[in-house]
Amino acid sequence: MSKEVRAIVIAGNGTNCEREVAFACRQAGAEVADIVHVAELLTGRVRLDDYHFLNLAGGFLDGDDLGSAKAGANRLRHAPVADSGEHLSDQIGRFIADGKLVMGVCNGFQLMVKMG
């Protein structure tokens, strides 16, 4: 019996190609490929724990105003997730520790590098 693969594609102000990444996930066999704005993750309504494959989209997250992916990395690292006592970086760390897959395309890869 195979397990349902659930993919999440993180979108934000200035990202692009989210639909193409979600389509590619479905073509590769993911039953679910949700496109979720980073703000929805910070409200706590959507949690990374519910997914198996994290995709960070390309583009120019937050306009790259401070440098490539710097503002986005700072937000993920320091912005609290509502009613949880944690930051989104805590969820990402747990996601990685659980051996789940993470992919960053273009600016998404730069975001991964900035996050460490």
- Four-point Cα dihedral 100, 105, 110, 114, nearest 10: -20
Q: Two tokens at 33?
A: 């490929």
Mean of pLDDT over the chain: 90
Per-residue pLDDT of 25-79, as tens digits, reads 999 999 999 999 999 999 999 999 999 999 998 888 777 667 788 888 888 888 8
Between 88-97 and 70-78, two packed helices, what is the crossing angle to 10 degrees? 90
For residue 1, the model assigns a pLDDT of 39
Domain ranges of the chain: 12-17+39-91+102-116
Average pLDDT over residues 9-28: 94
- Per-state percent for the chain, helix, strand, coil, to nearest 5: 45, 25, 30
Cα torsion angle, 88, 86, 36, 48, sign: positive
Quick one: 22 exposed, middle or buried, by C-beta within 10 A (0-12, 13-18, 19+)?
buried
